Structure 1
Amino acid sequence: MELLSTNRIAMFAGSREEEARLMVKQIFQERQHHFNADHECQSKWTRVELRPKIVDLVFNIMMKMVAGKRYNGNGIVDEEARQFQSIMREISELLGSSTINDFLPFLQRIDFQGVERRMIRVKEKMDSFFQSLVDDHRKIKIESGENNNIETSMSFVDVILSLQDSNPQAYDDETIKGLMLAMLLAGTDTAVITIEWAMSLLLNHANTMQKAWLEINGNVGNDRLVNESDYSKLNFLQSVINETFRLFPGVPVILPRESSDDCTLSGFDIKKGTILLINAWSIHREEKQWEDATSFIPERFGKDGAEGSNKLLMFGGGRRICPGGLLARRVVCLGLGSLIQSFEWERIGADAIDLTEEPGLSMCKLHPLLALCKPRQPMIHILNKL
C-alpha cells in the first residue's frame, strides 16, 4: 500500500517527532505548574496518569498524517476530537463484541442483541464525520489549484484526492473514507496499548528501565530529544518493544479468517465457511517456543533486538499482515524513547504495577497506569527550551 510505504512514512517523521516533543513538554510544564515554578521542584516526584498523554500523542500523530489536523486545544477542533473519539470507541466496542448469531447462523436474520442496529448508527456517524473531512480537503485543493499537489501535501487525504483526479473509479469517496478508517483503527490502538504496557513492565523491572536509558543516553546524548533516525541504534529499546508485543499483543486474537474452500491445516479438516481464530496471546506464551515464557526478558531478542522476532504475530502474518506495522513500531519507539530519555520514573508505593488485562478485542490494561516522574537532571536544559 503506497500510503504506508517506507518513503511515505518517512515524509511524516518530523510531524511525529513534533508530537513527541509536545507530549514531553506537556508533562514537564504540568509539573512546573503543580509546584508553582519552584526551582527545587526538579528533584521532586509528581504523579502522572500516562494513558491520556499517550492517547493524545498517538491520536494527534495519526490525525496529522491522515487529515493534517491535530486535535488538541479549545473550540471547534476540540469538539471534533471528542466526536471522533466517541465514534472510534464505539467502533472498537462493536469489533470486540460477539452475538449468538455468530454461533447459530440460522439466526442471522434476527438482531437479538441490537448489535446490527448499533453498527448501522455508528456507520452513519462515521460516514458523516469522514465525509466532512474529505469535503474540506477537496475545497482547499480546488481553491489552491496547482499549488496543492501530491509532492507537497502533508496529509493522506490530500494524497488520495490527487490520485482520485487520475483514477476516480478506484479512489471514490467511499474508498477514501474506508482507507481513513483503516489507518486510524489500525494505527491508534496498538501504539497506545503497547507504550502503556511497556512502561508498566519497565516500572516493574527498574534495572531494565535503567538499561534502556543508558542505551539512549549513550547513542543520543542529552543535547537533544530522541528522534526516528536514532531507531536503528537503539537495539535494546527494540528488544523491550518486542518483548512487550510478545507478552501483551495489542490484538490478542488476530482478526478472524473464513475458509473460502474445504482444506486441511495441520492435520485438521476445515470446511468451507469455517471461521478461524488465531490466539496470538497463547502462541506468544508457548513454553515450547519461548524459554521462561511468562517472564519479561527483553534480552531474549539478542544484541540486535530482532533475534526470534519472526515468531511474533503482533501484526498478523503472510499476505494479510497489517500494512501499518512499520508505522506502529516507529510511533511506539519514539513515544517510549522520549518518556525514558526525558524523565525518571518510579512506582507509586512498593507494590508492583497491576498487569491485569481488560477483556475485549484490544488488550488494554484494566487499570490505567499511574506513576511518579521527575525530569532527568541532564535533560532539564532541553526541557526548559521546549
Structure 2
Amino acid sequence: MFNMEFIEIYLLIFLLLISVITKLLNRTRCKHMNLPPSPPTLPILGHLHLLKEPFNRSLFALSQKHGPIFSLKLGSRLAIVVSSPSVVEECLTKNDVVFANRPYFWVGKYIGYDYTTLGSSPYGDHWRNLRRICKLEIFSANRLNSSSSIRRDEIKNLLRKLYYSSSDDNFVKVELKPLLSKLAFNITLRMIAGKQHKPEAVKLHGLLQELLKLGISPNVGDFFPFLQWADFFGYKKKVVKLTREIDGLLQGLVDEHRRNKYGFEEEDTMISHLLRLQESEAQYYTDEIIKGIVQDMLLGGTNTVVITLEWSMSHLLNNLNTMQKSKSELDFHIGYGRLLDETDLPRLRYLQNIISETLRLNPAVPLLVPHISSDRCNLLGYNIPKGTMLLVNAWAIQRDPKVWDEATCFKPERFENGRVDGYKMMPFGLGRRACPGMDLGQRVVGLALGSLIQCFEWKRVSSNKIDMAEGKGLNLPKAKPLEAFCKARNTAKELLS
C-alpha cells in the first residue's frame, strides 16, 4: 500500500504540473491570438476565483493592475472587461453590431421564454420587431403621457400612507424599500393591466421578487457546459417552478383582457393595446410574446426604480444641505397649493441633477447587461474572437478620477452645465441594446423622489450617517435597507388629508 504522505506529494506535484502547463498554454494562446492582457489563471476555473461580490469592485481592482481593457477566462467562456470611456465608445459604436447579441445564459432560457424576450433574444429580425413594439407602442411619448394619471395616483397613495402613519405631527420611522417596491410594481402593473388590487397581483409581486433573487445567481453550467445537466443547490428547479406559476398568472391577465373586450368596457392598457395588434398580426403578437414583454417590464422596471430611489434618499439624508436646496427649488416652482406633477419635472433642474448624480455613483446595473461578439473584431489593436463576452464596468467609469472631479463625492452641482458625454455616463446602457424604458424610469423616479421631498421632513434614525455599503447581486442594492424618520410638512397636510 502507498503511504498517504507519498500520495499527497504526488497529487501536489500533479496539480502543480497541470497549473504550469495551463499557464504556458494560456500564455502561448493569448500571445498567438493577441488578446488583451490577462491575470494568471487556474486550471479549469480560469479567473472565476478572482470574482468576488460586488463584482463591479473586484473587476475595478483588476483594471487597476491590467488596464482599461483586459481579458478573463471564465470557465469555458472568454470575456473582455472594459472600464474607460474611449474603449466603450470603440465597442458600442464602431463595433456595436458585432456586440449587439446577448450571451446564452440559463436565465434567458428559463426566465426569458427560451430567449424570445427583448432582454434575452439574439440580435436579428425578432429582436428588431420587439424593439419597434416597445418604442412605438409602449414607451412612446404619447403612450407615456396617457398613463401619467396612473403614476400620479399611485404616488399619491404612497404619500397618504406616509402621512397617516405620522399624522400626529411626530416623526415616524419607516423602512422605504418595501413601500417603494410596492409603488413601482403597482405603477407598472396598472400601466400593463389596469387597476389591480387583487390577491393575484399580490401573489405575482411576491413571485417576481423571489425570481429576481434566484435569477441573478450564477449557474455553474453557464461557464462549464459539461455540467449543464447538474442543478447545484436546486436553482433551476426553483426557477422553473416559479416561472410556471408566473406564466399562469400572466396568462390569466391576458385572458381576462380578451374576455373583457366582449363583456365589459375595455381599459386602454398595454395588454389591451397589444391584443388589438394581435388581431391584425396574430402570427407575431402571440400570447407568449405579450407575456414576455409584460414580464420584462415588471422585472426590469420595478427593481431598477426601487434601487435608484433608495440610493437617492440615502444620499440626501447624508447631505441635508442638498435636500434643503431641492426643497427650496420645489417650493419656488410648485408653490404650496398643489402636488408636484410630471409636467413640472423639466423645470426642476436641481432635482434632475440629484437623480443624475445618484445614477452616476450607484447605477442599478453597474456592469450593464453582458454583450457577446457575433464575429471577430479588432479593439485597440487586440483581436477579439467570435463568442467573446463583453462586460462594461459602468460603475468604474462613472467613478473614474481621470474623468470626474472628486469622483466618489456626491455633488449634484457637477451636472449644472448640462448632460455629459454618453461614454462617461451610461446608467441605461448604450448602443442598440440600451434600455428602452429609460424615459419611463426617469419619470417615475423624478416624480416619486420630488414628491417625497416636497411633502415630508426627513431625518436620519441616528446621528451617524447612512451606511452606503453595497450589497450582493448584479443590481447593486444597498447592503442595509434604508430606515429614516419622516413627518409631513405643514404645507403638504391639506394636500394629503
Q: 1:91 to 1:347 in 2, by over 3 A?
A: same
Q: How far apart, in 2, do the equivalents of 1:16 and 1:99 lie? A: 36
Where structure 1 has 5 or more consecutive residues not aligned to the other structure, the ranges are: 33-40, 72-76
State the match for 2:171 in structure 1. Answer: 45
Match of 1:20, SS state, is helix
The TM-score normalised by the length of structure 2 is: 0.70
State the match for 2:376 in structure 1. Answer: 262
1:185 aligns with 2:299: yes
Q: How far apart, in 2, do the equivalents of 1:346 and 1:374 lie? A: 9
State the match for 2:235 in structure 1. Answer: 115
Out of 104-113 and 156-165, give the one that drifted further.
Answer: 104-113
State the match for 1:273 in structure 2. Answer: 387
Q: 1:252 to 1:261 in 2, by over 3 A?
A: same
Q: How far apart, in 2, do the equivalents of 1:300 and 1:292 lie? A: 10
Matches within 5 A, 1:125-144: 125-144=245-264
Match of 2:350 among 236, 249, 253: 236
State the match for 1:68 in structure 2. Answer: 194
Out of 242-251 and 369-378, give the one that drifted further.
Answer: 369-378
1:161 aligns with 2:275: yes
**Aligned-pair CA distance for 1:303:** 4.8
Instruction: State the one-letter code of the partner of 2:153.
Output: E
The TM-score normalised by the length of structure 1 is: 0.90
Match of 2:152 among 8, 11, 17: 17
**Aligned-pair CA distance for 1:312:** 1.8
State the match for 2:451 in structure 1. Answer: 338
**Aligned-pair CA distance for 1:308:** 4.8
Conservation of the 8 A alpha-carbon contact between 2:180 and 2:306? yes
Match of 2:401 among 274, 287, 298: 287
**Aligned-pair CA distance for 1:288:** 1.3
1:371 aligns with 2:484: yes
**Aligned-pair CA distance for 1:53:** 1.8
Matches within 5 A, 1:87-126: 87-126=207-246
Match of 1:371, SS state, is strand
Match of 1:218, SS state, is helix
**Aligned-pair CA distance for 1:89:** 1.8
Q: How far apart, in 2, do the equivalents of 1:116 and 1:55 lie? A: 25
1:26 aligns with 2:152: no
Conservation of the 8 A alpha-carbon contact between 2:215 and 2:239? no
Residue-pair matches, total: 362
The alignment-based identity, stated in percent, is 42
State the match for 1:211 in structure 2. Answer: 325
Instruction: State the one-letter code of the partner of 2:245.
Output: K
Match of 1:348 among 447, 455, 461: 461
**Aligned-pair CA distance for 1:23:** 0.7
**Aligned-pair CA distance for 1:142:** 2.0
Q: How far apart, in 2, do the equivalents of 1:330 and 1:267 lie? A: 41
Conservation of the 8 A alpha-carbon contact between 2:329 and 2:350? yes
State the match for 1:36 in structure 2. Answer: none
Q: How far apart, in 2, do the equivalents of 1:160 and 1:317 lie? A: 27
Match of 1:114, SS state, is helix
State the match for 2:24 in structure 1. Answer: none
Q: How far apart, in 2, do the equivalents of 1:154 and 1:272 lie? A: 45
Conservation of the 8 A alpha-carbon contact between 1:92 and 1:361? no
State the match for 2:312 in structure 1. Answer: 198
Report the RMSD for the aligned CA atoms in angstroms: 1.6
Instruction: State the one-letter code of the partner of 2:282.
Output: P
Q: How far apart, in 1, do the equivalents of 2:239 and 2:178 lie? A: 27
Match of 2:439 among 310, 326, 344: 326
Match of 1:183, SS state, is helix
Instruction: State the one-letter code of the partner of 1:228.
Output: E
Q: How far apart, in 1, do the equivalents of 2:350 and 2:180 lie? A: 21
Conservation of the 8 A alpha-carbon contact between 2:310 and 2:482? yes
Match of 2:368, SS state, is strand
Instruction: State the one-letter code of the partner of 1:12.
Output: S
Q: How far apart, in 1, do the equivalents of 2:238 and 2:173 lie? A: 38
Conservation of the 8 A alpha-carbon contact between 2:152 and 2:341? yes
**Aligned-pair CA distance for 1:262:** 1.4
Q: 1:342 to 1:383 in 2, by over 3 A?
A: same
Out of 286-295 and 120-129, give the one that drifted further.
Answer: 120-129
State the match for 1:4 in structure 2. Answer: 139
